[in-house]
Amino acid sequence: MTNKEHHPNMHHKKAIVSAICMEDGPKSDDVKLLVLVGVYIIMYKAAADASISPMEKYEKEALYSALQGFVGNEWNGSFLYPDPCGWTTIEGVSCDFSNGFWHVTDLNIGDLYDNSLRCSQAAEFREHLFELKHQLEPITIPISSWDSLANSLESLEFRSNPGLTGTIPTSFGHLNNLQSLVLLENGLKGEIPEALGNLSKLKRLVLAGNNFFGPIPTSLGRLTNLLIFDTSRNFLSGGLPVSIGDLSSLIKLDLSNNRLDGKLPREIGGLKSLTLLDLSHNNFSGGLPETFQEMNSLEELVLSDNPIGDYVTRIQWGNLKNLEMLDLSNMGLKGNIPNSMTEMKKLRFLSLSNNILSGIIPSKFENVSTINALYLDGNDFTGKLEFSPRFYSKLRSRFRASENMNLCSSLELTSTRHFPEGVKQCEQESTVDSKDSDPSLKDEYLSQNPHHIIASFGHSGHAVSRFTFCFVARMILMALLSIIFL
């Protein structure tokens, strides 16, 4: 695309692209795909004559690539002169002549007209089409006409269209055959309609990256075939409905980065098939439901940045045999790290940062062979770190235990390159050997080790007596030998 500096008189114009791809053969009501995409095409002001420069090169290349995505690479537009907006046109491609150039304003691909281009079996939206997304005026999703697709439409997706605004039409609730509804990273707003709970065949519901607000509808609990539910990065508020536990087929649940609050319902433990649960960056409080330990299919559990404020010992973490990632950072958790946390044999990542945890850090974490990241910084742990140099060497910067004022690390690790950063050295203990401090133990020790030589001029009376005895015995032996040989 031509750099903006080369075109100081840049203008923008909105274009709507509609594509209806149908099965080959006679026209049928069996619509396989309908996509409405808001595409915004950059227009440049130029004084060139249309007969000389009918369409700018970048726009023509983007259009041809988009058409090939719909109909296949065998189409190259060679029969068009000089392009789809010139003297030879394609039914379904509409253009507007403005500022000396032709610009595409509307695409209708599929069996709409006698000479329309047919969609291929592998129809796709090429990236070149979505790169043309500059806009001045927003567009909205049409409210009407969805009833006509009630029994045929299976997938409806709007992705990465920041100019697509407005609300989700309640008429979407009439799309009885819909299996996938993806409204990802648009400019949509408003509340999630209760009518979406009528989509009984829905398997994927992705509403992430918009401006939706209000509560999560309780009606969504009726979507018992739902596999993926993602409403992350919105402004949803209120509590998590109890009906969430009825989504028995759910594999992925991502409600992160919203404004949800209240206590997590114990019914969430009913999600037995769930492999990913992300509730991070919300305002949930009131403790951890014990039913978490019943979700034994979980592989990733992310609850960070919620004021949960509970004892981490409430959960039998060892029950989560498949858990690989556990993020409980910045949650106000209290108590000691339970041994059950060291029993998760598939654990790769554990973060307990920025809580109020205390006590000794279990050295058994070193026995979890899969672990490669352990973050324990910002707590009140005490005592001495008992991990081996090999463990620190394995994790390197992925081990953190700083900002624990009463935690220290072994002196013998100071010579290694993997001394835990931010952890102070343990003070050297000036203790007296127990065998020196107790004479009775010293006698027992010497009686069991008769050949032990004490190379000391110290304060032990027993050591001095033994030395004197040996010296006198040696002198007597030498005297006897001298008498015999004389």
pLDDT for 61-112, tens place per residue? 877 888 888 888 877 776 676 666 766 566 667 777 667 777 777 767 766 5
Mean pLDDT of 169-198: 96
pLDDT tens digits, one per residue of 268-304? 999 999 999 999 999 999 999 999 999 999 999 999 9
Sheet hosting strand 211-214, strand order edge to edge: 189-190, 211-214, 235-238, 259-263, 283-285
Give the HSE-up count for residue 75: Cα atoms under 13 Å, Cβ half-sphere.
20
Going by pLDDT thresholds of 50, 70 and 90, the confidence category of residue 122 is: confident
Alpha-carbon distances of 387 from 178, 325, 371, 372, 419, rounded to whole Å: 54, 21, 13, 14, 10
Contacts of 429 (CB under 8 A, 6+ apart): none
Q: Is the model's pLDDT at 51 over the cut of 70?
A: no
Predicted confidence at residue 154, as pLDDT, reads 94
More confident residue, 147 or 370: 370
Pairing state of beta strands 235-238 and 211-214?
A: parallel
| Least confident range of 150-159, 186-195, 442-451 | 442-451
More confident residue, 55 or 256: 256
Q: What's the distance, CA 403 to chain centroid? A: 26
Is-contact 93 103, C-beta < 8 A? no
Q: Is the model's pLDDT at 330 over the cut of 50?
A: yes
Enter the tokens of residue 251: 């594999």
More confident residue, 183 or 140: 183
Contacts of 219 (CB under 8 A, 6+ apart): 194, 195, 196, 197, 198, 243
Phi/psi of residue 482, each to 5°?
Answer: -70, -35
Mean pLDDT of 209-215: 98
In this structure, which long-range contacts are made by residues 320-324, counting pairs with CB atoms below 8 Å and at least 24 apart in sequence? 320/292, 320/293, 320/295, 320/296, 320/344, 321/296, 321/345, 321/346, 322/275, 322/296, 322/297, 322/298, 322/346, 323/298, 323/299, 323/347, 324/299, 324/300, 324/348, 324/349, 324/370
The pTM score is: 0.67
